[in-house]
Amino acid sequence: MVRIDYKVCNRCGGAKEKRCERICPGDLIGVNPEDDRPVVLYPQDCWACTACVKDCPVSAISLRLPFQILGKETSLKASVKGRKTYCVVEGEGGKKEEFEIEVIQNGTLRRKD
C-alpha cells in the first residue's frame, strides 16, 4: 500500500497527467479534479511494486505493508536520479537504513513524459 504525503507532493507542478498516475502498472492512482490532488483510488489493489514511489519527482510517496502482513509500521521511500536509485527504509521507532545503487551503465536515461 502506498501513502502520499500531501505536504510534500507538489501536484507535479500542475501537470495534467501526474507522474504517479502515469506510471502505476495497475492504474490505481487518479487525480481529484477539484483540488488537483493525486488519490490512490484502489489502495487494496497495490502490488507493492514501488513504481510510483520511485517515479515521484519529490519523493512524496512511501510504501508500507498492510497490517495483516506485518502488524507494524515500516516504510520505504525512494528516488531516482540519473544513474542511481536512492532508497530509505524506516523501521519501527524511526530507525533508518539508506541505500544508493547505480542501476544504469553507459549513459543515463532521459526522463520522458
Partner 1 sequence: MEIVRKDTDLLIIGGGAAGCYAAVEAKTQSPSLRCLIVEKAHIDRSGCLAMGLNAINAYINPGESPESYLNYVKQDFMGVVREDLVLSIARGLNDTVKKVEEWGLPIEKRPDGSYKPRGRRGVRVLGERLKPILAEAVRKHRVEVLNRVAVTNLIKQEDRIVGAFGLGIRDGNLYVIRAKALIVCTGGASGLHKPPNPGSGRHLMWYCPWNVGTGYAIGLRAGAEMTSFENRFIALRVKDVQAPTGTLALGAGAKQINARGEPYLEKYHKDSPVRESSTYFRLLSAVLENQAGRGPCYLDLSHIDAQTLRQFKVDLLNMSPAMLLMLAGREIGDYRFEIAGSEPYVVGGHGEAGYWVDVERRTTLKGLYAAGDVAGGAPKKYVSGCWVEGQIATRSALQEITPGSLPSIDEDLIKKEQSRTEMPLKRRDGLSPQEAEEWLQKIMDEYAGGLSTRYELNEEKLLMGRTLLKDLKSNVPYLKAENYHELVACMEVVDRIDVARTVVEHLLYRKETRWPCSQSRLDYPQRDDAHWLKFVNSVMDVDTAEIKILEKGLHGQD
Residues that bind ligand SF4 (CB under 6 A): 2, 4, 9-12, 18-20, 24, 26, 28-29, 38, 46-52, 56-58, 60-61, 63
Three-state secondary structure call for residue 88:
strand
Hey, what amino acid is at 83? R
Our finding on whether 39 is near partner 1 (CB under 8 A) is no
Residue 20 contact among partner 1, ligand SF4, none, beta carbon within 5 to 8 Å by kind: ligand SF4
Q: Are 85 and 98 in contact (CB under 8 A)?
A: no
Q: Are 90 and 96 in contact (CB under 8 A)?
A: yes
- Provide the CA 22 distance to its chain's centre, in angstroms: 12
Q: Are 28 and 38 in contact (CB under 8 A)?
A: no
List the one residue from 11, 22, 58, 59 that touches partner 1 (CB under 8 A).
Answer: 22
Which residues are near partner 1 by CB under 8 A?
1, 22-27, 41-51, 53, 55, 63-70, 74-76, 78, 80, 85, 87, 89-93, 95, 97, 99, 101-107, 109-110, 112
